Structures are given as structure tokens and as C-alpha cells.
Amino acid sequence: PREYKIASMPGDGIGPEVIDAALDVLDAVAQYSGQFSLSFDNLPWGSEFYKATGTYLPSDGLETLKKYDAVLFGAVGAPDIPDPVSLWGLLLAMRGPLQQYANVRPVKCFSSIEPVSRHVRPKDIDWVFVRENSEGEYAGQGGRTHRGFDWEVATEVAIFTRHGIRRIMRFAFETAASRPRKLLTVVTKSNAQRYGLVLWDEIVEEVSKEFPDVKWDKMLVDAMTVRMVRNPQSLDTIVGTNLHIDILSDLAAALAGSVGIAASANIDPTRKSPSMFEPVHGSAFDITGKGIANPIGAIWSSAMMLEWLGEKESCTLVMNAIERACAECNTTRDLGGKLNTKQVTAAIISSIGK
């Protein structure tokens, strides 16, 4: 059988609870399929590790990750550590340096889930967000001078490069072309952001010529929030900057039921580095340790990992099992159900292949 080495990094808060669930589902589907095997190494990097060692990512951490076929990540962030320390220490210290420049965030409203807006019918939401994952406000540029004085200045510099925009735009057009509707919406804010986002506008004109089959349109990000709520069925594949899609993908998750089901893949399309799969949600301090976190975001992310590894059939098995568990109302509280994390996971596992 085919063998894959996976780095499992549960991290903080509900991270370990949902990654446990994902590992159980992965084991179950590998066994069901019999076509491949997965081995998991647990990497303890997170806020406890930081408190013990003074670092989130060990100095050879990126090299260590390169030994794996993929990384499964939970969440990072702790109430007693400043967020920029934990996020730039671990998550953002991996996405950029590993050149996982495409962040893919699918959003679907499973038919059994009650949509939060009366404008939205479940079948209206079947979207894929393509988030530029290496530039913009996340390039790490900026600083503060004259700290504490009235004339203190802080900058948060957004970086956009022709190379970075062109590669994500091509990835987005390819994603759109691979889907039945072949429809791409490019999100910008080039009325106010007159340099970087105007460059986005120019590059989409160029790249679109390589993909004559894809219909595309442009939206300013503010108007896009309205379109997502009022006219969801008009959207399919959506591409935008790191920060814009961070925000829109949380809104999308809420429209589709809960941020607890939202999945993501941090992809290096060149396959030089391992790609990293993680739920969109964070460490959720408010429900940590209660055993009630929705595991679907993590389980769906692990299905995306199977697809990226080439195990398309097993990805479909997991997605169908999630859908079936939801249809039978085997859901956690965030989706209006009564089950805990373990019960939902068990329901999904017992639906595999049904």
C-alpha cells in the first residue's frame, strides 16, 4: 500500500480535541480503503512548549517539517500570551517560509443545516475561497517608533509583488476552471488601496487571457460582503488578498452554519514544501476542555489532505460521511445539535462507506 508520513501538530486550546477526532477519522478511512497507510508523528509545538522552551518553532523546525508528506495543524493562541507572539511564532512562521502561498477554503452549506440568513438556501452556498497566503499585511513589514509618546507612529505595511499576485491568480483561475460553473470573482479594494490592489486589477486582466473558459468578475471587498449575504448563488470561486479573504472566509463559515465546520489547506502548489491542513477556527478558549468543539472543520481539512496526497476516493468517503452525519442531526451545539466532539466523530466514522 501507499504510505504517507504526516506531522500532526495539535497546538493549543481545542486544537488537540479536534485533531484527535481527525486522526481517528483518518485511521478509519485508511483501514476501510485498504489502499494506503498513514503514520503520524506528534509535534508538541504550541504555547505550552513555548513556556517550557522559550520558542514556538524549534530552530530546525522547518527542516523537520520538510521530512513529511503533509502537516495537520490544530490551532495556536493562549489567553496568557500576546497573540502576535504566538501567531508569528508558529502559524505565520510556517505559512510564509514554507511558501504555502495558496490558502484554499471551501465553504458548503450541508442541506440539513439551517442557514443563518433568510436570503440563503443551503444549496446556494458552494464556494471555494482562494486566499493569497504569503503577502499583503502578512508579509511581516511594519514597525513602531516613539513608543508611548503622543507622536508615536505605527506602520503595518502591505506588500504586493507581481510574482506573488500572478501565481495566486493563476491558481485561482485553475481552481475555477476545475469546477462545473467555471466562475471566478476577484475581490479587491482598488478604489482606496491604489497601489497594490491596482496591481491586482492589472494582473487579473493579463492572467484571465490564459483562461478563456473561465467567466470572471470583480468586486470591491465591502460590496462583496453584501453580495455573499444577499446573492450567494451568484458566487463560486473567489480570490483575494491575505487579509480580505481571512475576513470573508469567517463570514462565509458563519453563513454556512458555523466557523466550527470551516476547513482550509495551506498549499505549496510546487510541492517543494509539505502543505498544511487546518481548521479555519482558532483555539476557542471559551469552550476548551469541555469536549464540545465541533470536529468537522478539522475532519474536513484532513479530507483535503487526502485529496492533496492523491487519495481522492478516500476524500470523497470522508466528505460523504460528514454530510450524512449532519443530515442525521449528529451535530454539536454550534450547529444546534446536542452531541459532543467524540459522539460526532463516532457518527462520522460509522457513516464511512454508507
The single residue among 280, 322, 346, 348 that binds ligand IPM, judged by CB under 6 A, is: 280
Q: Quick check: 135 binds ligand IPM (CB under 6 A)?
A: no
DSSP per residue over 184-208, as a string? EEEEE-TTT--SHHHHHHHHHHHHH
Say if CB 184 and CB 172 are below 8 A apart: yes
Residue 109 interacting partner from ligand NAD, ligand IPM, Mn ion, none (CB closer than 5 to 8 Å by kind) = none
Q: Record the cell numbers describing residue 182, joined without a space.
A: 467555471
What residues between 281 and 300 interact with ligand IPM by CB under 6 A?
A: 282
- Which residue lies nearest Mn ion, judged by its C-beta? 246
Question: Beta partners for 6?
Answer: 40, 70
Query: Near ligand IPM by CB under 6 A, which window of 84-92, 118-126, 154-162, 310-318?
Result: 84-92
Q: How far apart are CA 102 and CA 126, in angstroms?
A: 19
Q: How far is CA 339 from CA 290, 294, 320, 351, in A?
A: 12, 9, 19, 16
Give whichever of 30 and 292 is closer to ligand NAD, judged by the CB atom: 292
Which part of the chain contacts ligand IPM (CB under 6 A), choosing from 12-20, 86-94, 175-183, 317-325? Answer: 86-94
Query: φ, ψ for residue 173 (rounded to 5)?
Result: -65, -40
First vs last C-alpha separation in the chain: 23
Stretch in the footprint of Mn ion (CB under 5 A) among 79-87, 106-114, 202-210, 241-249: 241-249
Find the binder of Mn ion among 17, 20, 69, 246 (CB under 5 A): 246
283 counts as binding ligand NAD under rule CB under 6 A: yes
Residue 286 binds ligand NAD, judged by CB under 6 A: yes
**Residue with Cβ nearer ligand IPM (140 or 353):** 140
Min dist CB 221 to ligand IPM, Å, is 15
Q: Which is nearer to ligand IPM, 100 or 343 (CB)?
A: 100
The Cα 241–Cα 244 span in angstroms is 5
- Closest contact distance (angstroms) between CB of 105 and ligand IPM is 8
Report d(CA 266, CA 161) in Å as an integer: 19
Choice among 24, 124, 189, 236 that is catalytic = 189
- Cβ distance 47 to 12 under 8 Å? yes
- Distance separating alpha carbons of residues 284 and 17, to the nearest angstrom: 11
Among residues 299, 251, 266, 250, the alpha carbon closest in space to that of 90 is found at: 266
The nearer residue to ligand IPM, 164 or 282, going by C-beta atoms, is 282
Q: Are the C-beta atoms of residues 344 and 296 closer than 8 Å to each other? A: yes
> In the set 81, 87, 116, 254, which binds ligand IPM (CB under 6 A)?
87
Dist CA 263 CA 277 (whole Å):
8
Q: How far is the CB of 280 from Mn ion (least distance, A)?
A: 6
- Kindly tell me which of 124 and 246 has the beta carbon lying closer to Mn ion: 246
**SS3 at position 157:** strand
- Give the Cβ contact number of residue 344 at 10 Å: 26
Q: Is 96 in the site for ligand NAD (CB under 6 A)?
A: no
Secondary structure of residue 48 in the 3-state scheme: helix
CA–CA gap between residue 13 and residue 51 (Å, rounded) = 15
- Of positions 20, 69, 135, 246, contacts ligand IPM by CB under 6 A: 246
CB of 300 to ligand IPM, least distance (A): 14
**What, of ligand NAD, Mn ion, ligand IPM, none, does residue 311 touch, CB below 5 to 8 Å by kind?**
none
Catalytic residue among 68, 108, 138, 236: 138
Residues contacting 287, CB < 8 A, separation 6+: 14, 293
Smaller CB distance to ligand NAD: residue 69 or 334?
334
- What positions carry a catalytic annotation? 138, 189, 222, 246, 250
Interacting residue ranges for ligand IPM, rule: CB under 6 A: 87, 91-92, 246, 280, 282
